[in-house]
Amino acid sequence: MNEQIKIWLVGNTGLRNPNRIQEGFSVFANSAFVGHLHGRENELGFMNLLDEKGIIQNEEGKDSSGSHARKWRLMFAKNGLIYPQIQKKDGRQEDLGALDDITPFGRSFLKADTYPAVQECYLRTMSVEQFPMPDGTHYFSPLRWLLAIMLELEKRTGSSELSRIEFALWGHTTNPSYNLQEVVDNILDLRQRRAAAPAKRPFDKKEIAKRGENYDKKPDNFLDYSDMNMRYLRISGIFQRKGRGLIVVPTKHVLAEKLAKATASSEPIMEQYKLLCTGAPLPTDNVEVAKALLDDLIKQMKERHILYDISDLPLNTPAEINIARQRLENILAQTDEIQYANDQCNQWKEIRDYMTLLIKGGGKLVYDEDNAIEVPKDETPAYLEWTLWRAALAIDHTGFFHIESNDIEKCIPIYDDLYVKRGLDSEDLQNFVLAGQYIELTDA
């Protein structure tokens, strides 16, 4: 094969956090820009609205072209929330729907009021085969192709784990025009040679340069786009983080097997768009698959000795079975959250490092080739809240906490925030000085 690498993008580098899409789309749905998101005036207007609502931070003069709005519009359309623009060669716009108008699936997305419901919306979207193949006539789903790769890896190694460098070089650089077995061969060869390499970072750099010989853009994209693509893929709920890479979620393994697909579709793009805009079907819409997924989840919960009760729920239709499954998934998620909370006292070094990045206004800290933390500069408020929450969980039963810094002025506000979050116990209330300090802080 005379290879010419093209990296597929399930997200957008200008909108790196998919968790923000629903909030931004809600703003759009309640605005005058529904059906009117093209044209410079509309683009600037919507960008200013997003800025006004606090969805984006467009510093004065930073973007005067409306590019923010175009990036959001692209993600709305790619996820089937608004009708995309149809090229003449692919059909008529009126056969799909009014340009930039909200789709039936977009309305369903707005009603998704739990995280599992939002994840299912993204899974439906990402299962649609709307990405063009090199031949220009067939289409594929990156999510389904990646599942095929990871399940083949699992078949050979016992684990579906795919590391960051493996994803960067052989995940989002491939598609069903490649031979699945050969792709996995290359991943395992890379893995074996990397394990034997004395220095991982120089090894990775050399491998990227070698793979980049067949890529006509900057080689930094291999890793930069990896981080963004994996973040979007994880929001489907079928992948989870493993180090800096990915692994198939154990409770979704049956679903992953049903969705995995190593071949492309010959259906015209107009048909794919219709599927996208009305809400693509999932294997769990079938009663047998839904039941198999529920049974597998029950088995895993029993193995983990997690108590549950779904005896009050009917299990006759796919919808009823999926409701029962979602109840169990919520119980499982709550159990994981409790375990996560209990473990925070052991994660104080990472919490400290997040605080250090926050003090600097954001940035990235790489521990090693497979582990790193990052605070995006435009998301520091959310990361501050999350880090303080983790810090509060990490406080031991005595209520004591310790903060280190060369600058005491930077320590004080962090200490005060932790003090307020911890609150006062009955013994503290007997100390008028402590009570007075607490009242002063909470009234400020």
Q: What is the pLDDT of residues 268-321, one digit of tens each?
A: 999 999 999 999 999 999 999 999 999 999 999 999 999 999 999 999 999 999
In whole angstroms, what is the distance from residue 106 CA to residue 86 CA?
Answer: 18
C-alpha to C-alpha distance for 352 and 256, rounded to whole angstroms? 37
Share of the chain above pLDDT 70, in %: 87
User: Is the pTM for the entire model greater than 0.75?
Assistant: yes
Tell whether the model's pLDDT for residue 405 goes beyond 60: no
Phi, psi of 375 (to 5 degrees): -120, 100
413 pLDDT exceeds 80?
A: no
Contact of 233 with 242, CB cutoff 8 Å: no
**1 band by pLDDT with thresholds 50, 70 and 90:** low
Q: What share of the chain is helix, strand, coil (3-state, %, to 5)?
A: 60, 5, 35
Beta partners for 82?
Answer: 102
The tokens of 104 are what?
């039936």
Q: Please indicate whether residue 338 or residue 14 has the higher confidence score (pLDDT).
A: 338
Query: Is residue 378 scored above 80 in pLDDT?
Result: no
Distance of CA 69 to the CA centre of its chain: 21
Contact status, residue 163 vs residue 280, Cβ threshold 8 Å = no
Comparing CA positions, the residue from 326, 306, 304, 323 lying closest to residue 315 is 323
